[in-house]
Structure 1
Amino acid sequence: MAWSDGEFQHGSQVNLELGGTRFGYTAALMRTMIIGEPSDRLKRMHEAEVAGLEAALAAARPGNTCHDVANAFYTELKKFRFEKDSRCGYPIGIDWLEPSASLQLGDQTLLERNMTFHLMLGNWVDEDFGYVISESFRVTGSTAEVLTTTPRSLFQI
């Protein structure tokens, strides 16, 4: 959604992307907030994106590829009849964007222990409708370790 100088009102949506650095390592986090009651469409999008996020995190383990993680996300999202045309994440760590791999279909980069990624699920459906949620995570021996404890909620303000 484009920036505007319009006033916030009931039904206005706020999509935030935050970043932090500790000991020289970067992590990012995105969440969507709505002023008032979310529409059914936004609730469905949130449900779909969280399901996709969880599927992607479950696939983020050593031996799988960036493609496998992206495919898990896209497959789950399609079950809710939504699609995303762009990558769903990228390496993050010493810098905001590590240009070494991409969580997208076709990227056969093998995941290894201690790789870190920003699984960013921004989805712009229409000019005035979109949604964001993300997690930064580290690949461990058997799964993904999410770097924050922020709830995966659609925040109402």
Structure 2
Amino acid sequence: MREAAAISDAAMPRAKEVIPPGVAEASAAAEIISTLIKGVDGKPGGDLASFFLCASPRISTPHIRWEDVFRQVSQVNLEFAGVRHAYVTPLMRTVSVGKPFDRLRRIHEGEVAGLEAALDVAKPGATCSDVATAFYQTLKKHGFEKESRWGIDWTEPTASLRTGDLTILQPNMTFHLMLGNWVDDDLGYAISESFWVTETGVETFSTLPREIFEE
């Protein structure tokens, strides 16, 4: 999973490079996907696990594909995963083409604070619900709420980072802490961290900063 994470980490800066205004979303997607498949350090990626590029003006809709060209002032939410020997390490970040608008900055600050609160709680002995509650309570203090799902896919009958899931975290469990938030018609935001439960806490796989990437 660390090798898969290195591939994800290489693809996100590449995304920042290939989404200037006027460029076709499909062309940018091709460049990012190429990085995910080529891999890094002579270690190729595997089959594409997932890839979503959601750009203005459709920024409030999750899980859509490329369609148009990037606007002069716009936002791009990215969700993809590096794959290595069938191990998958997802990553989500938001990119701003031009200066991020104030409401985007505010939700970013709230989501990052919630993410860090969740990671602080995540350790052996804590429940999935404990992790979720830490995030929700912190985000609410920043004036936002997240109503959409997060954590492992809702169709999987296993541990999921959501309130009410009393599964106890144990060493060597891994999770995708998926905090995409689609608030209303003109505001959507994406950030996530994949993490590994250690003997004393958690270790995140990505080395990228938790920031809005500005193009």
Specify if TM > 0.5: yes
Following superposition, the deviation at residue 5 of structure 1 comes to 3.6
Q: Do the aligned partners of 1:116 and 1:139 also contact (CA within 8 Å) in 2?
A: yes
1:67-110 Cα deviation digits (max 9, x unpaired): 0000000010001010011333128xxxxx86411110000000
Matched, 1:68 2:130: yes
- Equivalent residue for 1:78? 140
**In structure 2, distance between residues paired with 1:82 and 1:151:** 22
The one of 104, 111, 134 aligned to 2:192: 134
1:126-147 Cα deviation digits (max 9, x unpaired): 1221000000000111111001
Letter in 1 for 2:194: S
Q: Do the aligned partners of 1:70 and 1:87 also contact (CA within 8 Å) in 2?
A: no
Which protein is richer in strand relative to its size? 1
Matched, 1:49 2:111: yes
Matched, 1:123 2:172: no
Q: Which secondary structure does the structure 2 equivalent of 1:20 belong to?
A: strand
Q: Do the aligned partners of 2:148 and 2:182 also contact (CA within 8 Å) in 1?
A: no
The one of 185, 197, 204 aligned to 1:146: 204
Percent of aligned positions that are identical: 58
Q: TM-score, normalised by structure 1?
A: 0.90
1:42-69 Cα deviation digits (max 9, x unpaired): 0001000000000111111000000000
Q: Which secondary structure does the structure 1 equivalent of 2:93 belong to?
A: strand
Structure number, greater radius of gyration: 2
Q: Which secondary structure does the structure 2 equivalent of 1:8 belong to?
A: coil
**In structure 1, distance between residues paired with 2:135 and 2:100:** 23
Q: TM-score, normalised by structure 2?
A: 0.67
- Equivalent residue for 2:77? 15
Letter in 2 for 1:43: R
- Equivalent residue for 1:94? none
**In structure 2, distance between residues paired with 1:147 and 1:134:** 11
Which protein is richer in helix relative to its size? 2
**In structure 1, distance between residues paired with 2:128 and 2:188:** 24
Superposition RMSD on alpha carbons, in Å?
Answer: 1.7
**In structure 2, distance between residues paired with 1:98 and 1:106:** 15
- Farther-moved stretch of structure 1 (144-153 vs 16-25): 16-25
